[in-house]
Amino acid sequence: MLRLIALRVAMAVPVMLVVATIVFLLLRLSPGDPALVLAGDNAGPEAVARIRAEMGLDRPLLVQYFGWLGEIARGRFGISILSKVPVLALIRDRLEPTLVLALSAIVITVVLAVPLGAIAAWRHNSWIDRGVMMLSVVGFSVPAFVIGYLLILFLSVKADLFPVQGYVSPFSDPVAALRHLALPSLTLALVFMALIARVTRSSVLEVLGEDFVRTARAKGNVERRVLWRHALPNAAVPIITVIGLGIALLISGVVVTESVFNLPGVGRLTIDAILARDYPVVQGLMLFFALIYVGVNLLIDIAYVIVDPRIRY
């Protein structure tokens, strides 16, 4: 198992290298000069040139690239142009709201969507199946910000049940935090739920047609036990695969949801940094998100071995 983990980590390195390259190329090859941004509006050409030299922007692209990679490898992500704060510190300060939001959305999803999908497959073509499928199509189709605004409009503005916007840390005031968190996490969970419920349904449906399910029935298992004990564990691999891939969806959702509900998380930080052309922060955050994605999928690779004894590396 340890070797497996080590190997998976080793395999994540080239992937992260690809990510770093894409991010570097994106920021370096696009028009617009970071030095101009840094220098400010009233700086003369000499000042800009000096900053360019300081930042190493006048050196050949390859030199810049490897220089930058070297810095990253040593854990140095640079300093924000705008706030002069180290990028890592900036991310650390804004991490909590995002983590709390994402985790609560994942919990809501797994608790609700997996059983719903399994039941929909079991009762294939019944009203409950159609209902779950319809909900999942809606979840896929309505943009998260529209859902967010609808929830705000009806539950906060009209009914005054929840606060409109803002963030309260669960570590300072759990009750207020819960009230502030309810709508954003629901908004974020909806699209994720749509995805997971669908995949659960289709993979359980697939498994229910397999021979060993017939064997399970022939042994005298009641239908309920056939579903939970035999079908669902065999459908687990595709489900957790999609949970992993869905992390990308979740990250996009976080960015939008934080904007709608005005949460001071890393998603907002990213958008603000992009709009302000704060290059080191953008680079750092892109790498950060990619690392999360790769890390979660690494955990999922390890989970495969646990849920399916046939998988060996």
Which of 6, 173 has the CB closer to another protein? 6
> What is the smallest separation between the CB atom of 274 and another protein, expressed in angstroms?
5
> What is the smallest separation between the CB atom of 251 and another protein, expressed in angstroms?
4
C-alpha distances (whole Å) from 224 to each of 11, 213, 221, 294 are 41, 12, 8, 36
Instruction: Go through the chain and tell me how many residues it has.
Output: 313
Identify which range of 47-55, 74-82, 101-109, 141-149 contacts another protein by CB under 8 A. 141-149
Residue 151 near another protein by CB under 8 A:
no
Residue type, 212: F
Site for another protein in 91-130 (CB under 8 A): 124
Which of 73, 175 has the CB closer to another protein? 73
- The residue written with tokens 């503005």 in the block is 157
Determine contact, residues 269/277, Cβ cutoff 8 Å.
Answer: no
> What is the smallest separation between the CB atom of 172 and another protein, expressed in angstroms?
27
- The residue written with tokens 């990253």 in the block is 72
Determine contact, residues 276/82, Cβ cutoff 8 Å.
Answer: yes
* 3-state class (DSSP) for residue 79: strand
> What is the smallest separation between the CB atom of 224 and another protein, expressed in angstroms?
10
**DSSP state, residue 82:** T
Which of 62, 222 has the CB closer to another protein? 222
Site for another protein in 178-207 (CB under 8 A): 202, 205-206
Residue 32 near another protein by CB under 8 A:
yes
Which of 30, 172 has the CB closer to another protein? 30
> What is the smallest separation between the CB atom of 146 and another protein, expressed in angstroms?
3
Site for another protein in 226-285 (CB under 8 A): 230, 233-234, 236, 245, 248, 251-252, 255-256, 259, 270-271, 274-275, 277, 282, 285
- Residues 43, 76, 128, 145: which binds another protein (CB under 8 A)? 145
Site for another protein in 47-86 (CB under 8 A): none
DSSP assignment string, 103-172: HHHHHHHHHHHHHHHHHHHHTTTSHHHHHHHHHHHHHHHS-HHHHHHHHIIIIIIIS--S-SS----TTT
- Residues 9, 99, 146, 299: which binds another protein (CB under 8 A)? 146
Q: What is the dihedral of CA 7, 310, 250, 158, to 10 degrees?
A: -150
Query: Facing residues of 86 across strands?
Result: 79
In this structure, what token pair is assigned to residue 166? 């803002």
Residue type, 246: G
Residue 286 near another protein by CB under 8 A:
yes
